Amino acid sequence: MITKVQKTDEEWRRILTPEQYYVTRQKGTERAFTGEYCESHEPGIYQCVCCGTDLFESKKKFESGTGWPSFTEPLNPELIHEEQDYAYGMIRTEVLCAVCDAHLGHVFPDGPPPTGLRYCLNSVALKLKRE
């Protein structure tokens, strides 16, 4: 059972940078090729920047060439929530942290084996817990 983290808008604004708030709480997107983890190859676990939940491991990260960190699968699928996103005239699958509902990015069916998935995430929505 997941214990939800809930904060008021004011509380999120106090603990997050303006860019983190924009991406995670307002479903924004950082500019391509600008994120801290776009080309990072450091070993560790990527956590939700809002609540610290372990979400993705560096071993599942790959270079997609899209300008955002990409992963083939989450560490624990139960900690990821997916919703349909119809913004900008597109149909995409949004990826959220199941613990605090932070917007992380989107998942696409064009990734490498074995999953064929590409979890395309915003660096600013993540923090790397280095091994």
83 part of a folded domain: yes
Q: Which one is catalytic: 38, 50, 51, 120?
A: 120
Q: What is the pLDDT of residue 131?
A: 87
Please state the domain count of the chain. 1
The predicted structure's pLDDT at residue 72:
98
Q: Tell whether 78 is covered by a domain.
A: yes
Long-range Cβ contacts of 34-40 (<8 Å, 24+ apart): 34/67, 34/123, 35/67, 35/68, 35/69, 35/122, 35/123, 35/124, 36/123, 36/124, 37/69, 37/123, 37/126, 37/128, 38/67, 38/68, 38/69, 38/123, 39/63, 40/69, 40/128
Q: Give me the CATH number covering residue 113.
A: 2.170.150.20
**Residue at 3 is within a domain:** no
* pLDDT at 90 > cutoff 90: no
Position 89 scores a pLDDT of 87
Better-scored residue on pLDDT, 2 or 16: 16
Domain range for 46 is 9-130
pTM (two decimals): 0.94
| pLDDT, the chain, mean | 96
In a domain, 96, yes or no: yes
The answer to the question of residue 2 being in a domain is no
Q: Please indicate whether residue 100 is annotated as part of the active site.
A: no
